[in-house]
Structure 1
Amino acid sequence: MPSSVSLPVSPAELEARLRLHCLPELGPRRYQKLLQAFGSASKAISAPASAWRALGLPAACAEARRSPSIRDGAHQALAWLEREGQHLLMIDQPGYPALLAEISDPPPLLFVAGDPAILEKPQLAMVGSRRASRPGMDTAAAFSRSLAGAGFVITSGLALGIDAAAHQAALDVGGQTVGVLGTGLEKFYPQRNRALATAMIAQGSAVVSEFALDAGPHPSHFPRRNRIISGLSLGVLVVEASVASGSLITARLAAEQGREVYAIPGSIHHPAARGCHQLIRDGATLVETIEHILEGLRGWQYLPAAPVTAAAELDHPLLRLLFAAPHTTEALAESSGWALPKVLVALTELEMQGRAVAEGGRWFARLS
């Protein structure tokens, strides 16, 4: 955890921290253990190997700290930080996200491409299947648009499927979104979402990682990535996930971190809905509309003050319902109190205007 008084980090100390960060087998807890034991990264780097062994650290760490490859990794990171829009947040320095600092094992260093200031804004995480169904993708987009329009930053893992749909929908309404990688920022994965990440950075959002810039995709990295997704957020919404999905890991971590957990139910015949159903049985809030999320967060100190969605997008009663969640025609009639013929006429007009679309038996809002 950061101290109450933060001293500026000197160039030598910054390089030493980056060298420690590049060491094999040195996770967040061991990193913090070193800094607490020696008082600084510079002193830890120069301490005798016996002092490292006395702390119970792996021999590989002590042996590698002065190697050319570790020095090169630190120098590459320093060069990366010189470029515009690229930042490093340190847990004992101003600007580190307050919510993330509260978790049991916060990353001591966080690389950020884009605007680091949005990490302090109210965030809601949206996660789900990489092989999402079309209705699942549409549902994720609808909720993301609505939540971003309500002023929340949408946080996810920049994976295929639900993650990508949530990120893109937030951008579509002029909102902000944070992508948390399970690789280094210079080893982007998956490549199919690189253009999305570039658009996020260009439009005032951010992509972040705790891993060394050249760290590739390793299976152990993604659970670590997931704790950051939930740690940055007020709550986690699971849209569509199987029982074995990594999204359930994110939800479990969120619950352990004291965050809200939300899940959208689906068909009992759809395997990708079973993870959400399991979460609901375990106590997650069942979500059908954005109000079910906002109800649980009312009074929270981090809530945004005002929406960012243009009022023109929500000037139609049916669009307001569709931005909250997809609806069937019959459900729209029931929710709006309108007669079914009136709803059908209005939907036809909205479809002709490009403001609503019907897919899979349900209606979805579109930006005009």
Structure 2
Amino acid sequence: MTIEDIALQMTPGIGTKGAAHLLELFGDAQSIFVATADELTAKAGMRPEAAQQLIRRKGFPPAEKELVHCHRNGITAIASTDPEYPALLREIPDYPHVLYIKGDAEALSARCISVVGTRDATPYGQTACNRLVGGLAERVPGLCIVSGLAFGIDVAAHRAALAAGVPTVAVLANPLPGVTPAQHTDVARDILAHGGALVTELHSQSKQNGNFYLARNRIIAGLSAGCIVAESPDTGGSLFTAHCADSYNRTVMAVPGRITDRTSAGTNHLIRNRKAQLVLTADDVIRELMWDLGENPARLRPKPATPELTPDEAGLLGCFRTDDPLPVDTLGELSGLNPGELATLLVGLELAGAVRQLPGNRYMKLWN
């Protein structure tokens, strides 16, 4: 990282794709700033006014201030030409040239998978998120969960990763060291305390106008080998993240939901339109990403024989006294649960591989 890297980012008229174009032609930021006006206009095809901004080094005074800000707040800045820059992110066409990071930068180059979804998460979506993240943590060494620290599924994914003891990366739509939303500051502290990282492309002098969320989502997709949409209505930022992941040739996966549930309309549409692979378990995710066929597949941990159930899930499973399928009404009578509680627990049992839903709204026990 050099001051030229930050100055390139802070030069007026040089956007994300413009910086990527210049870096492709000149190799690094230092070479860009020693280029002549003719080289910038003829070789790079820049407008003369934009080329003059570089020639006059307009980005250097704010870059110097930014370096002071980073040092004062314990922020690490890395450039796309640095060896520690995450390789997967560097592959996307609109990669950010500079990343600002608090925490362990190595987490960004782990086996990253993004888990995103609606801000209005239901118990079903949270259960699905917890099951998938927990199952991946048990089976995949070097795992890192990436999300956006937003309300709903995003923060649930971070919390599930922390509970499972794996690093997690929060990609923010605001400059560091701040955290948005402020209600998740404690989660951000836990992320840093447990080997994860907070990351943003925004320097401290960025004007906050609320328009950075979609740009943030491309980084979530770019950092990850695959993107799981745990729960989403038919509009929202998580679908944009899935779109970005698909355009970057990353594996997109989605958890299905009931056709009557508004918060599952987006995931169901992704699956129906073949924009996402249907996943129910961590093993499904591992197979989709072909992590079981990787460079060292023996490193994948064997699947536990019996995933741990919550006491309520175990109690409901005990209602299956034989191997015969049971209708939902019968399960409700045997368990004494109301329909909402019963539906949530059945989802958990199904994601754990303990039961399977059959036609006619019946369930069959799979564990002996």
Q: TM-score of the superposition, structure 1-length normalised?
A: 0.75
Mapping for residues 155-166 of structure 1, pairs under 5 Å: 155-166=146-157
Contact 2:89 2:223 in 1 (8 A): yes
User: What letter corresponds to residue 99 of structure 1 in structure 2?
Assistant: L
Structure 2 residue aligned with 1:355: none
User: SS state of the match for residue 20, structure 1?
Assistant: helix
Structure 1 residue aligned with 2:287: 295
1:216–1:135 Cα change, 3 Å: farther
Structure 1 residue aligned with 2:181: 190
State the Cα distance separating 1:242 from its structure 2 match: 1.4
What is the number of equivalent residue pairs in this alignment?
A: 329
User: SS state of the match for residue 172, structure 1?
Assistant: helix
State the Cα distance separating 1:170 from its structure 2 match: 0.6
Within the alignment, does 1:21 sit opposite 2:4 as a pair? no
CA distance in 2, matches of 1:156, 1:302: 26
Mapping for residues 1-368 of structure 1, pairs under 5 Å: 14-38=2-26, 40-45=28-33, 52=40, 55-57=44-46, 61-62=50-51, 70-82=59-71, 86-151=75-140, 152-215=143-206, 217-283=208-274, 284-296=276-288, 297=290, 298-301=292-295, 305-306=299-300, 317=306, 319=308, 359=341, 361-363=343-345
State the Cα distance separating 1:305 from its structure 2 match: 2.6
The Cα offsets for residues 106-129 of structure 1, whole Å up to 9 and x where unpaired, read as 222222211111222111110000
Q: Between Structure 1 and Structure 2, whose CA radius of gyration is higher?
A: 2
1:42–1:318 Cα change, 3 Å: closer
RMSD: 3.7
Q: TM-score of the superposition, structure 2-length normalised?
A: 0.75
Deviates more, 1:262-271 or 1:77-86: 77-86
1:59–1:157 Cα change, 3 Å: farther
User: SS state of the match for residue 293, structure 2?
Assistant: coil
State the Cα distance separating 1:38 from its structure 2 match: 4.8
Deviates more, 1:100-109 or 1:42-51: 42-51
1:303–1:185 Cα change, 3 Å: farther
Q: Name structure 2 gaps, 5 residues minimum.
A: 350-368
User: SS state of the match for residue 362, structure 1?
Assistant: helix
CA distance in 2, matches of 1:303, 1:122: 13
State the Cα distance separating 1:236 from its structure 2 match: 0.7
Structure 2 residue aligned with 1:352: none
State the Cα distance separating 1:285 from its structure 2 match: 1.4
Deviates more, 1:91-100 or 1:74-83: 74-83
1:331–1:231 Cα change, 3 Å: farther
Deviates more, 1:71-80 or 1:156-165: 71-80
User: SS state of the match for residue 239, structure 1?
Assistant: strand
User: What letter corresponds to residue 29 of structure 2 in structure 1?
Assistant: A
1:319–1:46 Cα change, 3 Å: same
User: SS state of the match for residue 188, structure 1?
Assistant: coil
State the Cα distance separating 1:133 from its structure 2 match: 1.8
User: What letter corresponds to residue 21 of structure 1 in structure 2?
Assistant: Q
CA distance in 2, matches of 1:256, 1:31: 20
CA distance in 1, matches of 2:313, 2:250: 28
1:57–1:223 Cα change, 3 Å: farther
Contact 2:33 2:57 in 1 (8 A): no
CA distance in 1, matches of 2:48, 2:286: 49
1:75–1:122 Cα change, 3 Å: same
1:318–1:175 Cα change, 3 Å: closer
Contact 1:85 1:113 in 2 (8 A): yes
The Cα offsets for residues 303-350 of structure 1, whole Å up to 9 and x where unpaired, read as 793559xx9xx68x3516x7xxx969767877x96999xxx9xxx9xx
State the Cα distance separating 1:197 from its structure 2 match: 1.4
Percent identical? 30
User: SS state of the match for residue 137, structure 2?
Assistant: helix
The Cα offsets for residues 226-260 of structure 1, whole Å up to 9 and x where unpaired, read as 22212211211101111111111111221222211
Contact 1:187 1:215 in 2 (8 A): no
